Structure 1
Amino acid sequence: MQTEKYRGYTLWGHAILQQEDILRPERFAASGTITRDTKVVDVSGVLGTFGTDEEAESAGIAWCRAWVDGHE
């Protein structure tokens, strides 16, 4: 999980392992969570799947930043 502070919010990028078959490569679903003062403000759904957990977490953070920019 990745986290960062942005314009008074705390942003969380999540990576959820999505491995359907042990013989297939790992994939990670991305999502994002936005909090302010320890309260959840918004949560994304699944934003897509990625080849690494870092890519998925970064996609979650990017979604959070876009949400904050659109609601300020």
Structure 2
Amino acid sequence: MKKLILSITVLAGITFAACSSDDDSVKSNCVQCDFEEASEVCEGDNGNAYVNGVDTQQGFNEYVSTFCE
């Protein structure tokens, strides 16, 4: 009985660990901006603003306050 409980516990632990997110590079901090054409502006890992996936070489907060508001 102890082996059964241990096996279930180990299996549950492995299942839980396997379900974690593998995509850590994508930030969820995105906004929609309406300039020229609708664009999605997201914050990258380096803190820069990415417009439709292209690095603007400008800080996210600075870019959003300048072009999106």
Q: TM-score, normalised by structure 1?
A: 0.34
> Per residue, is there more helix in 1 or in 2?
2
Higher relative contact order (CA 8 A, sep 6+): 1
> Per residue, is there more strand in 1 or in 2?
1
Q: TM-score, normalised by structure 2?
A: 0.35
Structure (1 or 2) with the larger CA radius of gyration: 2
